[in-house]
Structure 1
Amino acid sequence: MRSAFLLSLFLLGLDLLFVSVSCGSSTEFVYPNFTASHLQFVDSSKGAFLLSPNSIFKAGLFSPVGDSSPDFYFSVVHIDSGSTIWSSNRDSPVSSSGKMILSPQGISIVEDGKGQKPVWSTPVLASPVHSLRLTDAGNLLLLDRLNASLWESFKFPTDTIVLGQTLPLRMSLSGSVSSYDFSTGDYKFVVTESDGLMQWKGQNYWKFRMHTRANVDSNFPVEYLTVTTTGLAFMGRNGTAVIIRVALPPSTDFRFAKMDYTGKFIINRFFGKELVTEFSGPMDPCQIPFACGKFGLCHLDNAAENKSCSCPDEMRPVADQKTCVPVSQSLSLPVSCEASNVSYLKLGSGVSYFSTHFSDPVEHGIELFACQDLCSKNCSCFGVFYENTSRSCYMVKDSFGSLSLVKNSPDNQDLIGYVKLSTRKQNGKPQDNQNRGSQFPVIALVLLPCTGFLLVIAIGLIWWRKCAVLRYSSIREKQAIRLGSFESGDLGSFHIPGLPQKFEFEELEQATDNFKLQIGSGGFGAVFKGTLPDETLVAVKKITNHGLHGRQEFCTEIAIIGNIRHTNLVKLRGFCARGRQLLLVYEYMNRGSLEKTLFSGSGPVLEWQERFDIALGTARGLAYLHSGCEQKIIHCDVKPENILLHDQFQPKISDFGLSKLLSQEESSLFTTMRGTRGYLAPEWITNTAISEKADVYSYGMVLLELVSGRKNCSFRSQSNSVTEENNQNQNNSSSTTTTNSGLVYFPLYALDMHEQGRYMELADPRLEGRVTSQEVGKLVRIALCCVHEEPALRPTMAAVVGMFEGSIPLGNPRMESLNFLRFYGLRFAESSMVQGQNEESENLGFHRRESSNSGGSRHSASYMASQEVSGPR
């Protein structure tokens, strides 16, 4: 009996050893504290350590060109066809000895021998990882102890989606550089509300609806793209309506859609023993932006699939045949913005450019010389297209791809293209000066010795004066340091790595037209719109408060913003520090602040999707500040005024002057009140340690304002007040939400409506039904979770991003941690009524002194402080 038991234990141990993968065989699951490299599994499973149950897909560290390649990627591969459907570290390949490490925190890809700093890793997860699994569909899953999904590769596609996978609205597929280089290339496919859009370096060049096989079934907004057994479909109305479809032969074979490195969007099916292309677009190969290289001219031959390439007149190909350059040696591609050095090479008639079909002219009704002048003054402009009949000007910016020769097309005879060139100088002299005579005037022989003598004396005087000025400046600098004043030499003691560009004061004075156009203001100064010599628009912040806080903010903003890069954070272009003239130069946000866009009442109403994108982008920016930097950064003043909007309402967080730098392990207690009333977390005035959760609270308040389209502490319009009063009579809602005067504290109202499930009551009425209760409810639930009174109950900003993207389940607001909002609402109503009575008394000529109230609770004190205290700006 004992021997049988021991034998059972032995067999069980062998079974566990076999399944553990450490022996080099692949399996469906692996568990934390697991490490794998390509070399470790190359003999038994060709580098794979995960295998789907149906043995169709494998995962491991692979190279697209074989084991001898220097570049390996952690990828999921279809075994029979060898097609890579997903890869992680596409922009940071590792060697064959590079490792994939699975830990309770997620997946990390590291290069062996270069420390443990990952070249790629999964984002912050909601709970510890219990296992990593590869499904029959080819989806890579990180699971928790209850087998709930924490992260999956299907939600982070690279260039491919497979059968059953979806590509949600505004997500994209990015083509690789080549078939053997998985790095992110220039071609991208994006799902929009009405179509599938293809882009090259940000320029649109093809729409899905342009294909003859694309059938438009309805005009509902697109929600996602999916590959099915019968083709490809753009879906809407929660997946119940087909918007655009491509019908393909019904099949359960392996089928996938891909943004190919060639610039085409293709659908392939593995049929028999080979891949068959079932769909490809664009159909015209000359519609692909880089079909014939830079400035190349694409010709269609008799068959639509065949093309040939050449160069336009007055241009010739270079050795690699991917670029055309001017025939004349005196001309070259533009290298400066000086209009005097710029010339234009006219392209032949019938030559078109792809981006002019998808973009609007920069100007209408102007002459050709004016169109070219706009390009000459813009360093990012490579050429223009001018339409004679409408006198419209199209500008080709940032990159210039291939041209198309369209014969016998009247639409293209009117559109003439011009390539921007510059006059090349030889030996430092313009070419037209090379053939001048070398005659030397006789008088110069007499004047040169005298001139030289005078020149030596002048240089000596200048040098003596310069030395005197330097000695004087040194004395002043030492005095400034001793006195603690903020003079020009003060910044010399600061060592700031990666310091942005330093501007002279005169440069910024000229750029802003002597600080003429003010576009904003704050406690430390005003912001002015400016234009740099290269036509770049900037926002110049002029510091006027030169006290301690002004100095601290100036140095802090340079140190922080100058060294971080994120698409949702405002970029610091440079600075100026001369004497008491302190200025910061930011990139210009052409749509202003969220506060003006949301509350001004002028201009178009922000649509729901735009609000959603602003909320998500802001959350991503804050998540980066909190956990994406080497040092944790707390903003301390998150509010609509500090969220700026760029093109397509892209949000960017600004104003880091109130932020605090913390190490990842440190938690500091700030003794100075910082922030703006209405957005301050309760811990600011309860002597509780301040952490990044204070930003989460402020973000929650901003999110509620995005939902309602108005300030959280505001008067309600008369029509809305009547509607709410009727609703309250019918439903016996809380009396603390509104008052007879029409006052409302919106966070409390949102809490009441959440408890009743009446989310549409909270939506901005200007949206007029263009939003669903489910969409509003999602944002309201996230916001209420963010404004919990206890900081520990608030989610991290990384978790908030996960809730928006759907990778983390929505949180459930804790009512016991939100009851403080009822005290806030009561105090808001009381203080508003007192303020109204005071204003009425002042209008009648009386002055009323408020009596002190010593019996307020901790909640009421917290509310009053957050309403009355505004930290330094």
Structure 2
Amino acid sequence: MPCTHLHLLLLLLFLSPLSASAKNNNKAFIIIKGNQTLLSSQSIFRLGFFNPSTNGHSNWYLGIWYASSSPKPVYVWVANRNRPVSDPLSSTLELTTTGHLILNNPLNGVVWQSNNKKPASNFHFSDSGNLILTGDSSSGSSPVWQSFQNPTDTWLPGMNVTWQTTFTSWRTPSDPSSGSYSLKLSPTFNEFQLLHNQTTPYWSTGNWTGQSFVGVPEMTVPYIYTFQFLNPYTPAASFRYIVTSSSPGQPRLSRFVVDSNGQLKQWTWEPQNQYWNMFWLQPDDQCRVHALCGEFGFCSSGENLLSPCACIRGFCPKNEAAWGFKDYSDGCGREYGDSSCDGRDTFVAVGDLRYDGDVEMWRLQQVSKSSCEKSCLGNCSCVGFYYNDKSNLCKILLEAPVNIKNTSSWTGITEDVLYIRDQIKESSSKRSVSRGVIILCCVVGSISILGSTLFVFLILLRKSKKTKKEEEDGFAVLNLKVFSFKELHKATNGFSEKLGHGGFGAVFKGTLQDSSTFVAVKRLERPGSGEGEFRAEVCTIGNIQHVNLVRLRGFCSENLHRLLVYDYMPNGSLSSFLSRTSPKLLSWETRFRIAIGTAKGIAYLHEGCRDCIIHCDIKPENILLDSDYNAKVSDFGLAKLVGRDFSRVLATMRGTWGYVAPEWISGLPITNKADVYSFGMTLLELIGGRRNVISDTPGEKDEKEPEKWFFPPWAAREIIQGNVDLVVDSRLNGEYNNEEATRMATVAVWCIQDNEEIRPAMGMVVKMLEGVVEVTVPPPPKLIQALVSGDSYHGVGNGLSGTSCSEGRGCSDLMTGLSSPGSRSSFGGKPPSSP
């Protein structure tokens, strides 16, 4: 039956008592059957059978979803989430003569039934997404059952939440069965908690203040949401929210969802752009979700990772198929079976991994590592231990930790190293060595001198191989290869093909012999530490993975040689596209994508890593482009790797002073806001398609020095005045998105504010660029303004008070490092016509 006809039939049925029809015929009333669906009155929601799987599974469910909000259905309620049907065509949703809703299937019988205590005689499907059963007229037609009181994972506007309400996640994005995570009112009835297995809380909203929750400041968004919390701190507590209409007759669509990965997400529908915008989520770090990766699985944060979970070394997923569907709850098991308890097990260092939460353990103070190992081997329940070389603290793990995290996802401060108990696996090589020792002993008995010499030689050789293997195994979990200098010398053909040169050293193109893969080899010229410290810092860099950061493949540390091996980027650096005479021209779409990608990479270094990593040298030369012109930030972490005496590095980095924040020169402590300033300067170059410093080349007979023109002061003034079109690269011939250009240019001016407290954090920069946060008109940067006007600049709280800019000097030294005797500098005039 067509959907419209069915809808008209239901309207007619509503005009007369449904109970009479059902009871008189002594038959259940079929609401929908098979592929039929039912729309709410304004066609906002649809009720029917659906199959969420994309892998061909024939599991069908009765549910409610938005009728036309997305090309991919967004489901908000599921009836039979734990008992799917395989034959939807013969399945029916019925209102029985006893007044219950049932989902009936000929093969399985009744697979779901409403739990109303009073019989229903009518039903209603509202535009709020609520399926309601009401009693007969004698009972006042009050609801006897409603889907809002029996939710699945989605909290819709108008849904009243009490202590009895539980929102439970889907098991996977394509499996609506009950997952591991839920949202409920706390036992104190004053906050909401996210729970694992409905027992272990791992995030809460904080207490109710009367207007909002302490931990959710976003609730103060005006004119959109109205929040009502009645009777907090009592068992009668109830909470709901209402969303104001975006326009008359057009409700604003919004929903909170307990995601299958354990995060609570708020989504709002953007009707103009026709997409769901994720307005808010908690925990904002996915690795703060309890037991996300299961036992012996560790979590890594960051956008665009294919998977947040991986198994520690020596382990593999217990349920490989489930991991393929993003269900990591089963965790990891040993590749070669459980360890024994005969005291012969060994221990494997599994990298710089941490855990949080509670785990049963012993703590042993002031003990050696070998004593720590013996204590673990003496207890069959011990699965491994953490050991701190500096404090000699041993922590014996008596159960598998379930919240292990990659160090880049960790914000705590610890220097513990995790060792996991592993079973000794006899190999043929070890057996052959054993036989060799026996034979050698026989030889010693007959030829003592020769035998002793051979024995000593074999012991030394074995020890040397073991030491080298231990060194290399220490980095295996990081997927870093330890190269020899000879290997890299051969791979780069004697360092013959130079790709570029930066403040930290030269970069050469190479080819790995075992895979014919192109790599970029950076030869550091300023090793600032010994070999041990260098390896430790390389571990930190190697653990950091993000789609907008260049991946470190391996390293070399031999004698005084310090080399890093990176993925090769075929399209080179962004700087090669910023010359006005270059034949290569980036489209606006590509530029905007590069801007957001670069911002995300820097934001990850600042906010997504265990310790904040300040890049210290953001500039176009350090933004590389892969084969698809995706931005990859390079040289991150090298400032720390070569030592924090970075002013010495800057002194030799010609042409990069224009990216240096004022605090570098003023002597103030350097924070991550210095990178924000450099990013803003780079953003101006990307918009304008030109370098920030431009020289007018004089004629052959012109004896004057070339005039150097500084782009940012002029660009900042035009952007603030609303003349963004004058700043955008003229070679694009107007083919760019004006809204994106305005947003991008305005963000750039916010980033180059001379007061670092005014500059936004990089995480906020990403939101501003993506349009999630409104970008207001920034104030003119005082230093830039002084350069334009020629006035004296008096900085406030930035150590630059009294700096003179009246003659195009002083501040020009500070900003560009280009003023020299006899040179001419221009800061506020019109840009050169032929740069």
Give the TM-score band, short-chain normalised: 0.3 to 0.5
TM-score with structure 2 setting the length: 0.44
TM-score with structure 1 setting the length: 0.42
